[in-house]
A and B are shown apart, each in its own frame.
Chain A
Amino acid sequence: MDTLLFNLIWLIPLLTVLVCVPIPGTKAKLIKGIHAFSGTFVLALVGYLTYRVYALSGTPIDDKAAPLFLRFFTDIPWINSLNAHYIVGADGLNMFLLLLTAVIVWGGILVSWEIKGNQKVFFALIQMLATSVYGVFMSMDLVLFFVFYEMEALCMYLMIAGYGSGRKDYGGKKLTLTLAFGSSMILATLFGLYFESGSTSWSLVELSKITLPTSFQMWAFPLMFMGFAVSSSLFPFHFWSPDGHASAPTAVSMLAAGVMMKMGAYGCLRVAMFLMPEAAKVWLPYVVALLIFNVVLGPFIALRHKDLKYITAYSSISHLGLIFLGLAAITPVGLRGASLQMISHGFLTGLFFATIGMIYERTHTRDITEMGGIMRKVPFLGVGFAIAGFAGLGLPGFSGFVAESNIFIGAFAQDSTLTRVVTILAILSITTTAVYILQTANRMLHGNMPAKYETLTDANLREKIVVVVLVLCLLLIGIFPGWIADMLDQSIAPIFAKLAAAQAPVIGG
């Protein structure tokens, strides 16, 4: 039963779109109602399944899924000529990412209630995007994984180009083409991986049992890792994200920064590092050098920007850099920190973009120098933004602190000189983060208010619910990190076991 429900997660959004097809676009209320219901339903479903995974932890798992710790394992032949199967499964890691996606999609539907343009198509696209993201996190078969992975960038383009603001065409194109560039690297290595392994399956479970030739891994790993890292905006492939976010509508920014950017990091961990652990051990200590840009310079760039969305985009870039620091640590604590950061940052940036979108709807500007003192008029949104800010600068009590402390402690345990240097720099740059966040919050919320904002109204109930739920998620992880950390540990264990067992080849040998 649970397995069936699990498979419904990605199907429901798609079905919702189909249901809405015959309804004429003029009945926007009905369509939005259906979508909101579907979003809520999926959220409840994922919440229930997360609980099930939690309740089941400790019980033995399906042998077919070993060595991964997968529940609800489903394996159905799909394209026989390719040996591609439909394989899905859930462990703590992807279950929480699914939950994150469900929350953000639900929030995204609610915040775009008043979106201008063809609402029918917009909500259909959100659901398609949701399907693809759910699919990416669920699938354990590389072909299936890649199909979903590709679907998402296309939906993203249509939504930005069709419903965005500012330089939407440029932003959308930049985003989609860069992501496609990353996908091409992934695709190439996926084929290489399949043929080099000599396996007759694309299944992650099967492939993980094979040790790929080191010579292959040595070139394939960086290619695949960078391919995935493109969507997590690792330097030097981060350039798409500020322009993309800035021109995207609120819901798309939330989804892109909150969920889609985690797909890359997830892929790095689940596919690249898991299948090619030997090369990972060689390459990852060098990857951290790239993080100096993300983690150290990212906040400084945010400091010089005036557009709220650019600031948040650079803050995302720096936070996502920390995910890679956790991954590059190759310690259980570091990997756990990286996964926690994926989840935590999803909620955090969702809240950021949601409040920014709501404020933008009222002030019609995102330039912080034009705002000021609006806390008095929109206290709820102001507090929401401030909470996002504090969570973003790693205040204890919110999830960001838990994730960051795991990453720092985990990364410091990695004995490579470069990693130590970057870890120390990363720890010291928590100050810079505080500087740009406080500067933004103070400029926007505090001080003198221009007279034109006298008429602003605070959030309505629909908006309040979204903000409150996102804040609760941040608090929940931040105050009770124990259980979520346990679940993540369980699902990271097989990945770490493979990494630990791998003998790093001698470079040049």
Chain B
Amino acid sequence: MINDVSISYLIFLMPLLTFVVNGLFLGKRSAKGAAAFAIVCNGIAMVSALLLAVSYFTSGYAPQKAILFELPFLKFAETFAANIGLLVDPLSIMMLVVVTFIAFLVNIYSVGYMRGDRAEGRFFALLSLFSFSMLGLVAATNLFQMFIFWELVGVSSYLLIGFWYHKPSAVSASKQAFILTRFADSFFLLGIVIVSFVVQSFDFEKINALTLSAFQSQTIDLGFMVMTKAEALVLGGVLIFTGGWGKSAMFPMHIWLPNAMEGPTPVSSIIHSATMVVAGVYLVARLFPFFALSGSTMNLIMVVGAFTMVFAAVIACTQKDIKRILAYSTLSQLGYMMFSLGACRMGDVVVTTGWTASTYHIFTHAFFKCSLFLIAGSLIHQVHTNDLDAMGGLRKKMPLTYVCALISILAISGIPPFSGFFSKDEIILTAFQGHHYVVFGLALLTSGLTTFYMFRLFFLAFHGAPRSESVKAGHVHEDFFMTLPIAILAVPALASGFAAKGLFEEFFVPGKLNVPQLVQLAEAHWIPYVAVAIAVVALLIAWVLYASPKAKVERALDDINRGSVYKVIYHKFYFDEMYYAVVRQFVIGGIARAARFIQDYIIEGILAFVVWFVHTLGSLVRRAQSGNLTFYLGTLVVGVLLWRFFGQLPF
């Protein structure tokens, strides 16, 4: 089907080459050279990915899966091996295109954003390390490869969040992000070990083709409990999902993502909104037939996703840091994608519309959210703060940015014909068709909240009177390198919805499912109208509150004289503090302290006792060897006498 495999190598080799060359040689010598090299290489990767996509979708082979190449990595048994390869199917191709496209644009953007930074070269190296890892993750043919690159994206995220390592807040945010995702990954790894032990394979193809009934009769002893292998597979599935749970920052493991905004903004835009954080959703989508085996797993996925969706949207309504608002909005959108996958199951029947909707939303979300972050970066670069307090009135100074922001915000709000409308509508429809009415209601509500907080951001940043000196003084301008990618991204943010609708409906179906799919889906043509109506109402509320002539902007930005509910939301329900307390008090102050106590006092104490015992014994015997002849003679005489009078001595 695809004749030229070599082009697909380029997709991966180019970012890797950039990382090696920039990291080892070019980065230190010439920041400009490093940037140019990164842009060229990522451009080549993007073109290769596009060519691959075109040849795949036009070959007539789609939507079948194929392994384009596979290199042996490690063999555990004859048929039980971990390889590194490239799996092509519509999902992975879509992700390859999205990742390379966004990586390319973000590299261009970074030329402007990172200009003059002390470690510009290192930045471009690390950014390419991330692209490489993310591409490897997307291309994974098996769980093992996925885990390898899963960890690598984690570490590149760590290195990039903590890029400005002299800033303590950035350092602690990077540590938190890595440790929290690592915590989730330990369960992921355990899940892989359990599933691969039962299936004796890592391959997605085999795992997705499983049926539980084959494992019903065998049992497995997991140490903590004995269960059938079928149950172990379900447990393994939940554990694997936990990996995605952490990576996609679903509640309650969400706190690292808003804190990760400490990193440079290009990083937030590519890693923490458009690509890496959807890895969790991607994982569930990739293993969808496997997760769909169990209704409870699906319900878990749905509940986790839906809760995160609402929870994050509520917090986003009160924040003042524009990057954090966007971060919570990312969480909320990830919640949409996640619950959409989980909502696919009704009783014993699996419907696949949710899968299509979720992948569709990954696609559209990547563009408009990346664009929003880049816009935020532009604003921050001009006013030198993340805070909405210091913005306002930027419309006149940054007209192009203003228009692009409006497009992306309309897209995320789900207003037709912008891209977000199409995918979000499908997701809401899935919830309705799956008879998950509570989630359906929440999704509609969140759609309104999304519009509200996005327009709150929009009005407060661009409209009204300027609130900072630099804007008033007119030091604000649009940087070419930073505005170009924003302008380019406005096109897919506007058009990727209706342009790709046909593609998604035709090709985007999950792999073979073992569940009968005969189901009459309820048609609901009224849903889009309701959703749009809610969005428009929310928009109007936002306008009245923040942009109408009567709006009290001072009041809107006041976070001190507020009611207790507002304060709780503003402080993100105090989850950061809770985590801090648990880690400080329980892990470091509790377990670790106890462990150290055992080591320092109990083990060393026993050791000291042994040493003391030997010493004492030695000193007892030493007295006999005093060198005093009288003593020797005396004991000799006493001994002989004893022997003479008592006959046999006991020894």
* A416-462, CB < 8 A from B: 417-424, 427-431, 434-435, 438-439, 442, 445-449
Closest residue on chain B to residue A441 by CB atoms: B175
User: Could you tell me if A415 and B221 are in contact, using CB atoms closer than 8 angstroms?
Assistant: yes
User: Could you tell me if A409 and B193 are in contact, using CB atoms closer than 8 angstroms?
Assistant: yes
Contacts of B193 in A (CB 8 A): 408-409, 412, 423, 427
User: Could you tell me if A448 and B166 are in contact, using CB atoms closer than 8 angstroms?
Assistant: yes
Min CB–CB distance B335 → chain A (angstroms): 24
Interface string of B43-80 (1 = CB under 8 A from A): 00000000000000000000000000000111111000
User: Could you tell me if A482 and B595 are in contact, using CB atoms closer than 8 angstroms?
Assistant: no
The winner among A375, A413, A419 for most chain B CB atoms within 10 A is A413
B445 lies within 8 A of chain A by Cβ = no
A239 lies within 8 A of chain B by Cβ = yes
User: Could you tell me if A485 and B74 are in contact, using CB atoms closer than 8 angstroms?
Assistant: yes
Contacts of B155 in A (CB 8 A): 390, 395
User: Could you tell me if A447 and B166 are in contact, using CB atoms closer than 8 angstroms?
Assistant: yes
Q: What is the bound-complex CA distance between A168 and B74, given in angstroms?
A: 43
Q: What is the bound-complex CA distance between A439 and B587, given in angstroms?
A: 14
A500 lies within 8 A of chain B by Cβ = no
User: Could you tell me if A421 and B224 are in contact, using CB atoms closer than 8 angstroms?
Assistant: yes
Contacts of A408 in B (CB 8 A): 189, 193
* A331-378, CB < 8 A from B: 333, 373, 375-376
Contacts of A305 in B (CB 8 A): 596
Q: What is the bound-complex CA distance between A435 and B158, given in angstroms?
A: 13
B197 lies within 8 A of chain A by Cβ = yes
B8 lies within 8 A of chain A by Cβ = no
Question: Given contacts A395-B155, A396-B147, are A446 and B197 in contact (CB under 8 A)?
Answer: no
Contacts of A297 in B (CB 8 A): 595, 598-599
User: Could you tell me if B223 and A418 are in contact, using CB atoms closer than 8 angstroms?
Assistant: yes
A402 lies within 8 A of chain B by Cβ = yes
Tell which of A418, A421, A434, A448 touches B178, judged by Cβ atoms closer than 8 Å: A434
B152 lies within 8 A of chain A by Cβ = yes
Contacts of B595 in A (CB 8 A): 297, 300-301, 303-304
Contacts of A445 in B (CB 8 A): 165
Tell which of A301, A405, A418 touches B599, judged by Cβ atoms closer than 8 Å: A301
Binds A, one of B180-188, B285-293, B411-419: B180-188
Min CB–CB distance B294 → chain A (angstroms): 21
A236 lies within 8 A of chain B by Cβ = yes
Q: What is the bound-complex CA distance between A428 and B190, given in angstroms?
A: 7
Q: What is the bound-complex CA distance between A262 and B519, given in angstroms?
A: 61
B593 lies within 8 A of chain A by Cβ = yes
User: Could you tell me if A424 and B592 are in contact, using CB atoms closer than 8 angstroms?
Assistant: no
User: Could you tell me if B152 and A397 are in contact, using CB atoms closer than 8 angstroms?
Assistant: yes
Min CB–CB distance A236 → chain B (angstroms): 7
Q: What is the bound-complex CA distance between A450 and B28, given in angstroms?
A: 25
Tell which of B172, B179, B221 touches A420, judged by Cβ atoms closer than 8 Å: B221
User: Could you tell me if B223 and A447 are in contact, using CB atoms closer than 8 angstroms?
Assistant: no
Closest residue on chain B to residue A302 by CB atoms: B592
Q: What is the bound-complex CA distance between A430 and B186, given in angstroms?
A: 6
Q: What is the bound-complex CA distance between A424 and B224, given in angstroms?
A: 10
Min CB–CB distance B262 → chain A (angstroms): 12
Tell which of B162, B179, B221 touches A446, judged by Cβ atoms closer than 8 Å: B162
Contacts of B581 in A (CB 8 A): none
Contacts of B533 in A (CB 8 A): none
Contacts of A236 in B (CB 8 A): 603
Contacts of A413 in B (CB 8 A): 197
Interface string of B333-348 (1 = CB under 8 A from A): 0000000000000000
Question: Given contacts A239-B607, A396-B151, are A304 and B596 in contact (CB under 8 A)?
Answer: yes
Q: What is the bound-complex CA distance between A189 and B164, given in angstroms?
A: 58
User: Could you tell me if B186 and A301 are in contact, using CB atoms closer than 8 angstroms?
Assistant: no
B588 lies within 8 A of chain A by Cβ = yes
Contacts of A418 in B (CB 8 A): 223
B1 lies within 8 A of chain A by Cβ = no
Q: What is the bound-complex CA distance between A412 and B196, given in angstroms?
A: 10
User: Could you tell me if A481 and B73 are in contact, using CB atoms closer than 8 angstroms?
Assistant: yes
Tell which of A304, A390, A423 touches B593, judged by Cβ atoms closer than 8 Å: A304
User: Could you tell me if B197 and A409 are in contact, using CB atoms closer than 8 angstroms?
Assistant: yes
Question: Given contacts A300-B591, A438-B175, are A430 and B168 in contact (CB under 8 A)?
Answer: no
User: Could you tell me if B604 and A424 are in contact, using CB atoms closer than 8 angstroms?
Assistant: no
User: Could you tell me if B74 and A482 are in contact, using CB atoms closer than 8 angstroms?
Assistant: yes
B556 lies within 8 A of chain A by Cβ = no
User: Could you tell me if B178 and A431 are in contact, using CB atoms closer than 8 angstroms?
Assistant: no
Contacts of A375 in B (CB 8 A): 165
The winner among A239, A412, A431, A448 for most chain B CB atoms within 10 A is A431
Contacts of B224 in A (CB 8 A): 421, 424
User: Could you tell me if B75 and A485 are in contact, using CB atoms closer than 8 angstroms?
Assistant: yes
User: Could you tell me if B596 and A447 are in contact, using CB atoms closer than 8 angstroms?
Assistant: no
Q: What is the bound-complex CA distance between A446 and B189, given in angstroms?
A: 29
User: Could you tell me if B592 and A301 are in contact, using CB atoms closer than 8 angstroms?
Assistant: yes
Q: What is the bound-complex CA distance between A418 and B222, given in angstroms?
A: 9
Contacts of A401 in B (CB 8 A): 148, 151
User: Could you tell me if B591 and A424 are in contact, using CB atoms closer than 8 angstroms?
Assistant: no
* B592-613, CB < 8 A from A: 592-596, 598-599, 603-604, 607
Q: What is the bound-complex CA distance between A408 and B76, given in angstroms?
A: 12
User: Could you tell me if B171 and A447 are in contact, using CB atoms closer than 8 angstroms?
Assistant: yes
Q: What is the bound-complex CA distance between A345 and B168, given in angstroms?
A: 31
Interface string of B458-497 (1 = CB under 8 A from A): 0000000000000000000000000000000000000000
Min CB–CB distance B201 → chain A (angstroms): 12
B380 lies within 8 A of chain A by Cβ = no
Q: What is the bound-complex CA distance between A227 and B189, given in angstroms?
A: 33
Closest residue on chain A to residue B180 by CB atoms: A431
Tell which of A412, A417, A429 touches B197, judged by Cβ atoms closer than 8 Å: A412
Contacts of A427 in B (CB 8 A): 186, 189-190, 193
Question: Given contacts A447-B171, A485-B75, are A396 and B190 in contact (CB under 8 A)?
Answer: no
Contacts of A409 in B (CB 8 A): 76, 193, 196-197
User: Could you tell me if B221 and A442 are in contact, using CB atoms closer than 8 angstroms?
Assistant: no
9 inter-chain pairs at a CB distance below 8 angstroms, sorted by A residue, are: A375-B165, A395-B155, A401-B148, A417-B221, A424-B190, A430-B189, A438-B175, A445-B165, A448-B166
Sample of 10 more A-B contacts, CB < 8 Å, known A408-B189, A421-B223: A239-B604, A406-B76, A408-B193, A409-B196, A417-B223, A421-B224, A424-B224, A435-B179, A445-B165, A485-B75
Using a CB–CB cutoff of 8 Å, the interface residues on chain B facing chain A are 72-77, 82, 144, 147-149, 151-152, 155, 158, 162, 165-166, 168, 171-172, 174-175, 178-179, 182-183, 185-187, 189-190, 193-194, 196-197, 221-224, 587-588, 591-596, 598-599, 603-604, 607
Using a CB–CB cutoff of 8 Å, the interface residues on chain A facing chain B are 236, 239, 297, 300-301, 303-305, 333, 373, 375-376, 390, 393-397, 401-402, 405-406, 408-410, 412-413, 415, 417-424, 427-431, 434-435, 438-439, 442, 445-449, 481-482, 485
